[in-house]
Structure 1
Amino acid sequence: LEKAQGGSGTLVGGVPGVEPAKVVVIGGGVVGSHAITMALGLGADVTVLDRSTTVLGQLSQTFGPALKTVYSTKAALEKHVLEADMVIGAVLVAGAAAPKLVSRDLVSRMKAGSVLVDVAIDQGGCFETSKATTHSDPTYIIDDVVHYCVANMPGAVPKTSTYALNNATLPFALALADKGAKKALLEDANFLPGLNVIGGQVTCEAVATALGYDYVDPKVALEQAKTSAAA
């Protein structure tokens, strides 16, 4: 949002007598809730859009009246995107390409100097004008709107992100080492949904749909692989 970076020259939290930036978060999951925490912490005027009333209710309970919660419709999305100084795309369809929620036409009508942050860029991005960028060259401008679309954003803080990833994955790595992959997959219900491909067959339905492959139930594929190995 800084003028030197192509933004509108708006301070996120404002100052006494000057209103703060309007931040719109699309998606209220893990990424969205953390974005809300940061934006509210900086003093922004924050609105979140989501299609789950359960998620919106949980966010409302967590953040209270400081956060505006809006059920996401096409009309609501357009209204809030056009009013925003910053839009954070935090949508996720597990294993599948992210939906394009903000069209190029809508981007062209946004305020000059506003900012789009596409956290879904690793799965194709949720803005039609998004393209992956790097930490060394993180932004570009289309229709006077600054786009930040860095793939692997946690890579900016590799020490912290690696420790966090290790903490979350170590128990699973140990189980795989102790049991072997196939036994762990069959015995532990937490593993099976993470199987994407085995024996040349796609066992994640979202991936199969997104890439145009036939989907095979992971249990069936595992048994087929077991039979093939025995033969």
Structure 2
Amino acid sequence: MTIGIPKEIKNNESRVGMTPAGVFELTKRNHTVYVQKEAGEGSGFSNLDYENVGAIILDSIQQVYQSSDMIVKVKEPIAEEYDLIQPRQIVFTYFHFASSERLTLAMLKSKAICIAYETVEDEDGTLPLLTPMSEVAGRMAIQQGAKYLEKPIKGRGVLLGGVPGVPPGKVLVLGAGVVGIQAAKMAAGLGAHVTILDVNMKRLRYVNDVMPSHVVTEFSNEFNVRKHIQTHDLIVGGVLIKGAKAPKLITKDMLKNMRPGTVLVDVAVDQGGCMETTKVTTHENPTFIVDDIVHYGVANMPGAVPYTSTLALTNVTLPYVIKLADKGWKQACQDDKTLARGLNIVEGEVVYKEISEAFGWENTSVN
């Protein structure tokens, strides 16, 4: 099979779909890998690094798409890429279709096979290809939140860890999944007081067992959310409903009950955000202010640490890329139910019901 690795062109996205080590595993199996010129530079990998493991370097993104049976990316295609995608071409990447009807319609029109990293799901319900980026994003949420709490960038002027004689800052984490636990771990490591909310008591018991005593758990409901937003300095939204839009746990009317300079970091922004006032931002302009509350809504947070993120992503995606390349998508998905759950759109038809539900569609195909 021919596999294409294009350069990511989303704003400030420096990750790349595969490391040279991953390319080596494919070329030694006699697959042809095309890498767009300078695709890996943002992650620290040169054209020569790829050539040394058997990749063929192509000058343009158009050449990569035209030459490849399968495209392996990091982020969803953006408008400039829509017309490059070919019928029956496999596109393996993060899609987050439920947050973008325009992207969904474009991929339906393309008649491609769209396999989404974020819905590849193990039998136990874990999401192996989403997990490493959620780990990165959860940890980064605290790094970024701590920075934007500084007064020069309109935050409350709070040091999360405090100092002797001054109490630490308070962090509220919505969701005790991968993002929430990593955020809580980082915040606790800085010395902040952390409250983590979830509706899953098993997750809360786990958090209670593994976290230090200054991380406290509470059941998530609107009453508790409204109570805690009044006293916490940094609020991290880490709620995920697989393949669907995130629920709005923080509504616009709640902002008036927060202290000016409170920082909201919505890690669920890829799935529409779990805060009503969230909008997608970029690393170039990461924050905006509504009612004196600082909002951070960068949709590709791990893109700010591309070396770490690219290595972590290739570690988990490569086994599935190899299966797709060796067997073709139909046989690979028949043999691996985990991979099959990643199928979102197949040749003009939505095959993942949460996408249709997100847009209220009954007819899930295009002619």
TM over 0.5: yes
Pick from 119, 123, 127 the counterpart of residue 275 of structure 2.
127
The aligned amino acid for 2:270 is D
Q: 1:101 — aligned with what? A: 249
Map Cα deviations across residues 104-162 of structure 1 (whole Å, 9 max, x no partner).
01012210111100001111111111111110111111111111111110010111111
2:308 is aligned with 1:160: yes
Query: Could you list the per-position Cα deviations for residues 52-83 of structure 1 after superposition, in whole angstroms to 9, with x for gaps in the alignment?
Result: 00010111111142210000011011101121
Mapping 1:174-185, distance limit 5 Å: 174-185=322-333
Partner of 1:69: 217
Q: Name the CA distance, whole Å, in 2 between partners of 1:198 and 1:141.
A: 40
The residue type paired with residue 100 of structure 1 is K
Per chain length, whose mean CA-contact separation is higher, i.e. which structure has more relative contact order (CA < 8 Å, sep 6+)? 2
* Runs (5+) with no aligned partner, structure 1: 222-231
Q: Could you tell me how far apart the structure 2 residues matched to 1:66 and 1:34 are?
A: 15
- Cα distance in 1 for partners of 2:306, 2:360 equals 34
Shift of 1:212: 2.4
Are the counterparts in 2 of residues 91 and 126 from structure 1 also a CA contact under 8 Å? Answer: yes
Shift in Å, 1:215: 8.1
Contact 1:205 1:215 (C-alpha < 8 Å) held by counterparts:
no
Q: Does 1:210 align with 2:358?
A: yes
Q: Classify the secondary structure of the residue corresponding to 1:33.
A: helix
Q: For residues 108 and 155 of structure 1, what CA distance do their matches in structure 2 show?
A: 32
Correspondence 1:11-50 to 2 at 5 A: 11-50=159-198
TM-score by length of 2: 0.58
* CA distance in structure 2 between the partners assigned to 1:119 and 1:215 by the alignment: 31
Deviations 1:36-55 (A, max 9, x none): 11100111000000000001
RMSD (CA atoms): 1.4
Q: Runs ≥4 in structure 1, deviation > 3 angstroms?
A: none
Q: Distance in 2 between matches of 1:46 and 1:81?
A: 12
Unaligned runs of 5+ in 2: 1-148
184, 202, 211: which one aligns with 1:54: 202
C-alpha offsets along residues 157-208 of structure 1, whole Å, 9 cap, x if unaligned? 1111111100010001001111110001111111111110113221112112
CA distance in 2, matches of 1:209, 1:191: 22
Q: Does 1:187 align with 2:335?
A: yes
- The number of aligned residues is 217
Name the residue aligned to 1:9: 157
In structure 2, what is the Cα distance between the partners aligned to 1:182 and 1:81?
Answer: 48
Q: 1:189 to 1:215 in 2, by over 3 A?
A: farther
Greater helix content: 1
Query: What CA distance in whole angstroms lies between the structure 2 residues aligned with 1:131 and 1:108?
Result: 18
Classify the secondary structure of the residue corresponding to 1:196.
strand
Counterpart position of 1:229: none
Which letter does structure 2 place at the counterpart of 1:130?
Answer: T
Distance 1:207 1:57 in 2: 32
Partner amino acid, structure 2, of 1:29: G
